[in-house]
Amino acid sequence: MSILEVKDLEVSFAVGSMLNRGALLGVAGVSFDVKAGETFALVGESGSGKTTLARAVNGLQQISAGSVTFDGQRIDGLGVREMKPLRRTMSMMFQDPIGSLSPRMKVGDLVTEAYRIHGVKADMKAETERLLSLVGLNMDFADRFPHQLSGGQARRVGVARAIALDPKLVIADEPTAGLDVSVQGEVLNLLNDLRERLGLAMIIITHNLHVVHHVADRMAVMYLGRFIESGPTEEVFAAPAHPYSAALLSANPEPDPDKAKNRIALPAEVPSLLSRPSGCEFHTRCPWAQEMCSRKAPEAVNVGDRRVACHFPLEQGASPPVKAEVS
Ligand code: SF4
């Protein structure tokens, strides 16, 4: 059963001066759902719209079209006061593990802050102990301030805060950013473990494809605010069908040298949202682009269990065409 359904969601931003006002689309009509106990990953380069989309889902960003249904209730358009009770059941983990914690609060108060915000009566000492234990920390940490924590410990405190009031959905923005590789694995295992034990649904926003492969059941690759490929993570990783997904995956360092892939270099800069390319918006960078790509925007088509927005989805293991040398 879907805990979250997003349909044709758009987010636009006003740009320009009083005399010359315009709008740019940060998120350009995306649809997806997340089921209870499932992790859905949003992937893409900086500026692809993934954080804007997550903020729109969470009610932190106003949407200009479409709908967001959470736990059976339409929540787009709700005001701050109406959203407040929903924040118990839909929590957000912010990117900076230490910077997202108030420096003047002790860990014990930080992990139980949601109880006070929402007026939930509980034995705070017992709840602190329960939450710290869920994220692998002991009660010695309750009296520490954020600056006395390592990045990994601060991230665990962030996770404890996010799960404090038994949410149904957690949105995690770059959950491993700024952490050492060894600690990243610990945090990902913790998130996987909690999802299974608590039946959480999760949305992970990241540009780190190792994170996606480690935790996500399904994923969506975003480009200029659109989903260009979405579906089961294993399918996308095994045989990316959109050239942009293939390029992102080819740039993902592969620990096994026998499986190392040929890197697909993307030639041009990411276009500005203010001047979206015609036709397929990826055609200015696509090694497979053909003449029609600059004229006609591709419809999303089914490739296996995925949706792929490309006129010429790639076959498994496709290499980019070799361009003729210009003499
Ligand atoms: Fe490349 Fe054309 Fe597919 Fe766009 S539609 S991704 S330009 S092949």
What's the pLDDT at 68?
97
Whole-model pTM? 0.91
What's the pLDDT at 319?
72
What's the pLDDT at 126?
96
Residue 86: C-alpha distances to residues 74, 104, 147, 200, 202 (Å) = 11, 27, 30, 15, 16
Residue numbers of the chain with a pLDDT score lower than 50: 324-327
Ligand 1 atom closest to residue 283's alpha carbon, by position in its atom list: 7
Per-domain residue ranges of the chain: 2-89+166-309
Which of 305, 306, 311, 269 lies closest to 292, judged by CA?
311
Assess whether the C-beta atom of 243 lies below 6 angstroms from ligand 1: yes
> Reduced to 3 states, what is the DSSP secondary structure of residue 196?
helix
Which of 23, 22, 26 lies closest to 47, judged by CA?
26
What's the pLDDT at 291?
94
Q: Ligand 1 mean position to 312 CA, how many Å?
A: 6
Assess whether the C-beta atom of 310 lies below 6 angstroms from ligand 1: yes
CATH class of 2-89+166-309: alpha beta
Q: For ligand 1, atom 6, which residue shows the shortest CA distance?
A: 310
Number of Cβ within a 10 Å radius of residue 2: 16
What's the pLDDT at 308?
97
